[in-house]
């Protein structure tokens, strides 16, 4: 029987491989370093302001920034530099700019922009998973370009729906407002029908609403999250459709699409597998089998 690997040695080896992965591409490493410094400065500022919830978000962001490189090491895939930079900027824009700097409130389009980008990126990941399977000798089936694009679209929408489930759960269980409310001036509901029939009755030009005898003060009726959720899913769908169309022609023409090629993760080459070859001693031994280390 093989002996269990030494956990400390494995962690050390993983750390070396992660560091090599981070430094593999100069441009993405530069972006990673700059964003990491900004997050640390933001964390210090939040500590001084005694806003410990935002300090936790900063720590979470630092962890998320490492995830792309960690995924490449453990899953033995290679993220194109463009895709990796987009993911890093997306994480920073969502957590630091969106949540802590309140860009979601300052710029109404910020949430829409990020959900569109999320749909695009999730479709790229789903597409790459199918494309890797199509190229694998171990898989006994291959999907046509059309079905590959459909799977990428469905994968992206599943990610979008799961995220909306998470937002709904946080709002219901923790009293948050991740599903942002919307002020509307018209409502239509069958519950307003005085005869109890299944015919909607509309109330238009709503300018003020009383709650427990007090005016709500928002200039209209408050929609609790539904419009925000549907808008998020719609723009997620748009982003996913855009990438799926590009992906379809990429597979149909077998890799001639320059844009898609820069956004699709690929299987690592042997020399890029830092978890296996990142250990200096092992690398030397494999290059020089007769040399004893």
222-275 confidence digits (pLDDT tens) = 998 999 999 999 999 999 999 999 989 888 886 665 677 788 888 887 777 787
CA angle 173-177-183, nearest 5°?
135
User: Comparing 239 with 175, which gets the higher pLDDT?
Assistant: 239
95-106 confidence digits (pLDDT tens) = 999 999 999 989
Task: Break the chain into its structural domains and give their ranges.
Answer: 1-107+269-293, 111-174+228-267, 182-223
6-29 confidence digits (pLDDT tens) = 677 777 788 888 888 888 888 999
Query: How confident is the model at residue 285, as a pLDDT?
Result: 47
* Residue 31 pLDDT greater than 90, yes or no: yes
Please say whether the beta carbons of 163 and 171 come within 8 A: no
Q: Determine the average pLDDT of the residues in 200-222.
A: 92
126 burial via Cβ count (<10 Å: 0-12, 13-18, 19+): buried
Query: How confident is the model at residue 1, as a pLDDT?
Result: 44
For tokens 């979601």, name the residue. 104
Residue 58 vs residues 64, 71, 202, 215: alpha-carbon distances, Å: 10, 20, 45, 37
Q: What is the pTM of this model?
A: 0.82
Residues 210, 9: Cα–Cα separation, whole Å: 65
Confidence band, pLDDT 50/70/90 cuts, at residue 277: low
Confidence band, pLDDT 50/70/90 cuts, at residue 69: very high
Give the sign of the dihedral formed by CA 222, CA 228, CA 234, CA 238.
positive
Please say whether the beta carbons of 69 and 36 come within 8 A: no
Query: How confident is the model at residue 166, as a pLDDT?
Result: 92
């Amino acid at each position: 029987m093989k002996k269990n690997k030494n956990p400390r040695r494995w962690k050390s080896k993983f750390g070396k491989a992660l560091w090599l992965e981070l430094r593999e591409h100069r441009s993405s490493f530069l972006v990673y370093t700059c964003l990491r410094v900004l997050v640390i400065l933001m964390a210090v500022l939040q500590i001084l302001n005694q806003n410990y919830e935002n300090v936790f978000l900063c720590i979470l962001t630092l962890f998320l920034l490492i995830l792309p490189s960690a995924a490449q090491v453990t899953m033995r895939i290679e993220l194109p530099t463009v895709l990796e930079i987009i993911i890093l900027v997306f994480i920073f824009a969502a957590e630091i700019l969106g949540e802590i700097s309140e860009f979601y409130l300052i710029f109404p389009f910020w949430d829409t922009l990020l959900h569109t980008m999320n749909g695009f990126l999730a479709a790229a990941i789903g597409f790459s998973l199918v494309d890797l399977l199509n190229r694998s000798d171990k898989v006994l089936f291959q999907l046509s370009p059309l079905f590959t694009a459909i799977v990428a679209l469905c994968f992206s929408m599943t990610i979008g729906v799961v995220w909306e489930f998470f937002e709904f759960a946080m709002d219901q269980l923790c009293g948050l407002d991740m599903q942002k409310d919307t002020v509307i001036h018209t409502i239509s509901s069958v519950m307003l029908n005085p005869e109890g029939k299944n015919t909607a009755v509309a109330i238009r030009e709503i300018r003020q609403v009383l709650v427990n005898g007090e005016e709500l003060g928002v200039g209209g009726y408050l929609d609790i999250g539904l419009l925000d959720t549907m808008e998020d899913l719609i723009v997620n769908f748009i982003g996913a459709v855009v990438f799926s169309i590009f992906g379809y022609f990429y597979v149909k023409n077998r890799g001639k699409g320059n844009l898609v090629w820069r956004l699709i993760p690929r299987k690592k080459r042997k020399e890029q597998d830092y978890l296996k070859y990142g250990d200096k001693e092992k690398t030397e031994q494999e290059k020089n089998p007769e040399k004893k280390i």
